[in-house]
Amino acid sequence: MTAPPRHLRRRLAAPTALVGALLLLAGCRDGAEQAGAAGATDPRPTLAMSHVLVSYSGLATAPTGLERSREEARERARRIAVLLRTDRGDLADLARRYSDDPTATHNAGYLGIFREGDLDPAIEAVVCSLEVGRIGGPVETAHGFHVVRREPVRRLKIHHLLVAHRDAVLADRHVRRDRAEAARIARALRRKAAAGDADLCELATRFSDDQENRQQCGRLGWVEPGMLAPTAERAVFSLEPGEISEVVESEYGFHIFWRD
């Protein structure tokens, strides 16, 4: 998958050591979403998941200074699973507050999209047995106890046009316009794009301030949850194929998104 350029990009999923260890040989044949539906070329079925990790003392990936026994970790994970199964807790919130996966603070426990055979057998067996949105576990791996949720496989091919201003994050030093002028230009470009009398790729080439992709039709490539800033993510995942977004403001300026 082509990662989005620096504008909007956020780090995804889990730390290298954890994901690297979870990506082991296993199987997921029942109910896995087909890769073709997500637009990928790999024929293996896909699945997506989130988790809350409860680690314990003595594990190689345990947080430094953690003093928790294996039985204490198991019980803590069991209680988290009960909260989620009885709708008394939100996985994203619990992951940020209690997960021992250090990236949970920014990905809210979402680990991304995986292929059949890529996950640790224990994790993959549980996730494959779940319907989308259901909670599984606790399941134990070498990293501790995982409470998992199967997520829908969501992946879109997105383009954008960025109108930056001088106070925007990562704005080119040659951008002199203020925020109000940038907003006005973005609204005018959006009206032109929506009217259908302009080529979107040409507009991106001529007017986008994202230097990394303006010559490639503003292509952000395949985007999945957790890869974009929150305002951008909400906008792009509400788009139907071929649809153009309203003007969306982020810390980088004003965006117009469109979906293949």
Q: How far is 52 from 148, CA to CA, in rounded Å?
A: 7
- Per-residue confidence (pLDDT) for residue 105, from 0 to 100: 84
- Of the listed ranges 181-185, 232-236, 253-257, the least confidently predicted one is 232-236
For CA atoms 91, 94, 98, 104, give the dihedral sign. positive
- Per-residue confidence (pLDDT) for residue 161, from 0 to 100: 95
pLDDT of residue 29 exceeding 70, the answer is no
For the chain, what are the domain ranges? 16-151, 156-259
Q: What is the side-by-side order of every strand in the sheet holding 248-250?
A: 219-223, 156-163, 253-259, 248-250
The mean pLDDT of the chain is 83
- Per-residue confidence (pLDDT) for residue 42, from 0 to 100: 61
The per-residue DSSP string of 155-195 comes to: -EEEEEEEE--TTSTT--TT----HHHHHHHHHHHHHHHHH
What is the CATH code for 16-151?
A: 3.10.50.40
pLDDT of residue 146 exceeding 80, the answer is yes
What is the CATH code for 156-259?
A: 3.10.50.40
Locate all alpha helices (DSSP H) within 33-117, ordered by sequence: 70-85, 91-98, 104-107
pLDDT of residue 34 exceeding 50, the answer is no
- Per-residue confidence (pLDDT) for residue 5, from 0 to 100: 40
> Of the ranges 56-60, 166-170, 186-190, 211-215, which is most confident?
186-190
Is there a common fold for 16-151 and 156-259? Answer: yes
